Structures are given as C-alpha cells and as structure tokens.
Amino acid sequence: MDRPIVVGVDRSPESVAALEWAAEEAQLRARPLQVLHAWEWHPRPLATVPADKSEHEWAQGALNDALERVSAQFPELPVEGELVSGAARDVLVAAATRAEMLVIGSRGIGTISGFLVGSVGLSTVARAERPVVLVRSAAAGNAAEAADDRLLPIAVGLDAAHHGDPLIEFAFEAARVRSLGLRFVYAYSPPSIHDRAAGKRDSPYGRELLQERQHALADVLSGWRQKYPDVAVTEEAVAGKPARVLLEAAAGARLLALGRPRRPARLGPHVGPVIHAATHHAPCPVAVVPHERSAGGT
C-alpha cells in the first residue's frame, strides 16, 4: 500500500499553505493525502475556541474546513481526515512513521504559536523517522511562492563526507516529479587563520581545498546522475559558514532539502545549527530528511 502524504493542520495561514503544498505533492507523486488535526482537552477552553463550541467541535470544524478546501482544489485526489487527541509533537511524530512524508506549517521566528515554535516543531523534525517538510505562507515571507516562479530549482545542502542516500533520493524524486533542476551545495568552513599561518602541509586550504570538495561532491552524485538522466543537476562547493551559505541558496530555490543524521544525544534529539537556522529563516519550504551516516562519517 502506498504511504500517504500526511499534513498537520490548524486554522492558521501557514497551515493552509502546508495543506495546499501537501495536496499538490500528493497529486504529483500519485499518493493519497491524509489530513491530520491534533487537539488537547484543557480544563479551561483556549481563548481561540468560541464560547458556543466545545474544543472537540472546534477541532472537528478545523479538520472539516481543511478537507473541504482540498476537495475543492484537488477533486481527483484521494483524501481522508483524522482527528487525534494528544500532544501535537507526539501525534505528528507517530503519524510520520506511516507517511511518505510529513508536512507542517511554519511561522518561522518571532512568533508565539504554531507548529514550528520551540519544542513542538523542532522536536517533530528531530524525532520523525520520515522526511518532514516545513511550509511558510507567502505572507510569512515565502519568496518563491510569492514570486510564483515555478521554475526555481530545488536546493540541496549536502556534506559529501557524511552524506545520506535518502536525502539525495528525496531531492532527485522531488525534482523529477516537478520537472525542475537540482542545485547541490556543499558548504564547508574554510581553514582558520591559525591553520593558514601554521602552513600545515598535510591540511589543504584555499583553491586546493575547494577543488577537493568539488571533486568529492561530483563523486557522490555521479551514480545518481545516471539513475536520473532527465534531471538537470548543478553542483558547487562553497567556503563559508554552512548556515549562511544554505540560506543564500534557499533565497533562489523552490525547496531547500537538508539531511539529518540519526545519532544519539545525551540531551535528547536535536537538529543542529544548520537545520535550526533554515527552519527559522529560509524563505522557501524546507525538507528535513533523516538518514544514517555514510560509511565515511564519524
């Protein structure tokens, strides 16, 4: 049975953007869509719930509205809804296990509510065993959507030394179904002033290091180019802080895809500084793909 595209919804503009993105993705990939709304009972109803409705009724109404929107815009798309009682972070992570991907709305930084705020959104990204796509509304700064430029490439942040095949496959499939190009960016930190001053002969830097990184990236992608000959691919190694480099790449992308290596952490799941920066500041949707570390990883 095909895994569905699962989208978490509430009544926010970002939720609507996530719903529409997920429905289009499901249609492109010929997958069913599952619309999910998580709600929790509170002793005192939230201020957002009208006085004449219970929390359950309000939650059911949010789900029904989302299903009606999908049916109106994508009448041929198989879709079902699910109303689940529980903490949003737990409901979303559990739903991701049965999904092709999980899609949620993101308000970005500087807000006090929504899926991507503090522990809820970041915990979902850090714990989910399937790809998670975070979508912002045009009003929240989604430059690619606002410009309605559907020919922008998909940008991929790839560490050629510790890459994961699930990330590369996700990116190629996303480009294939959209007939878009792929732009792979290998961002690496340049040598420190101390290293350059020390003149370490066993540590390449400058142009030599750039060429080394470019060759490593080309080697990783060579087999994938053959597997997806119809996908146009560009690749580049860029010296600089990875978070800054990839945010610049996201500014001219339809989607930014990043990998999240699965690794134990004493303080619980975490996403790392690059994903943290991207989920808060990237103007386009961000896909985070979990994967095992490559054989060359540590």
pLDDT in tens, 77-122: 999 999 998 888 889 999 999 999 999 988 654 433 334 444 566 7
Sequence-separated (6 or more) residues with CB below 8 Å from residue 24: 74
pLDDT band at 58 (very low <50, low <70, confident <90, very high): confident
- For the whole model, what pTM was predicted? 0.85
For the chain, the 3-state helix, strand and coil shares in percent, each to the nearest 5, are 40, 20, 40
**Residue 56 reports pLDDT greater than 80:** no
What is the amino acid identity at position 118? G
pLDDT band at 138 (very low <50, low <70, confident <90, very high): low
Beta strand spans in 40-125 (E): 79-85, 101-105
How large is the average pLDDT for residues 124-150? 71
Per-residue CA distances from 298 to 162, 163, 204, 235, 294 (Å): 8, 11, 20, 24, 9
How large is the average pLDDT for residues 50-70? 80
Q: Could you tell me which residue, 180 or 193, shows the higher pLDDT?
A: 180
